Amino acid sequence: GGRLDLSGLVKRYGNAEPPAVDHIDLAIEPGEFITLLGPSGSGKTTTLNMIVGFTEPTAGRIELNGTDITRMPPHRRNFGMVFQNYALFPHLTVAQNIAFPLRERKVPATESATLVGNALELVDLAGMGNRRPHELSGGQQQRVALARAVVFAPSVLLLDEPLSALDRKLRQSLQREIKRLHQELGLTFVFVTHDQDEAMTLSDRIAIFNHGKIVALGTPTDLYHRP
């Protein structure tokens, strides 16, 4: 997994005061599972979008393993991303969805087929490759999105409220799935949620956001179980 260093990171939309992200410093260790937790509007998604490269910072710096990537285009960062709404291509099969990032990277067909097969097994969807997204449950669709986000062996996986659209029971089984994926892949996971229980269950460390700032940072035990 990659190491990420955010320093003095700021994003201001227009003249908004305070900025959406207001001078954040955060070192994310290789292979760690870190969660950005906080209320709606506190700057979590904006931070994730700057890490992945969809949003350009107003100020500050992002480093990956010591290299400045602040203005590197998203495709060159090679990070995986999972969204709340799955964002699968409805007209493509499950296997074609998972193969999509491999096609973009011009991975040869035979190698791609092997990688897609492995990814399907990884998320427990072997045999489902020929289905269309609408033939799957919400939980299965999110597992396809997970497979698509890791099939090209990224160094970092970013997850933006990936479980929020699911009902409670599915959410718990997907939490276990995400935890297992993290353990098996050894990737750095940056996970965004507003759900404190979810953050405590999944994370090595939690960064608590409020009004664009990190107001607390530590392990779940540090943050919630100290007298």
> Given candidates 18, 39, 167, 176, which one binds ligand ADP under the rule CB under 6 A?
39
Nearest distance in Å: CB 112, ligand ADP = 34
The residue range among 39-47, 98-106, 134-142, 146-154 that interacts with ligand ADP, by the rule CB under 6 A, is 39-47
**Could you please report the per-residue DSSP string of 197-227?**
HHHHHH-SEEEEEETTEEEEEE-HHHHHS--
Residue among 26, 37, 120, 181 that touches ligand ADP (CB under 6 A): 37
- How many residues form the binding site for ligand ADP (CB under 6 A)? 18
| Smallest distance from ligand ADP to CB 40, Å | 4
Binding mask 47-86 for ligand ADP (x = CB under 6 A): ----------------------------------------
H/E stretch holding 64 reads strand 59-64
208 binds ligand ADP (CB under 6 A): yes
Q: Which residue has the tokens 């427990």?
A: 124
Tokens coding 118: 């492995």
Could you count the other beta carbons within 10 Å of the beta carbon of residue 128?
Answer: 17
Binding of residue 196 to ligand ADP (CB under 6 A):
yes
DSSP-derived 3-state class of residue 194 = coil
If binding is defined by CB under 6 A, does position 205 make contact with ligand ADP? no
Burial class of residue 24, CB neighbours in 10 A (0-12, 13-18, 19+): buried
CB 6 within 8 A of CB 62: yes
Give contact residues for ligand ADP (rule: CB under 6 A).
Answer: 13, 20, 37-46, 196, 208, 210, 215-216, 223
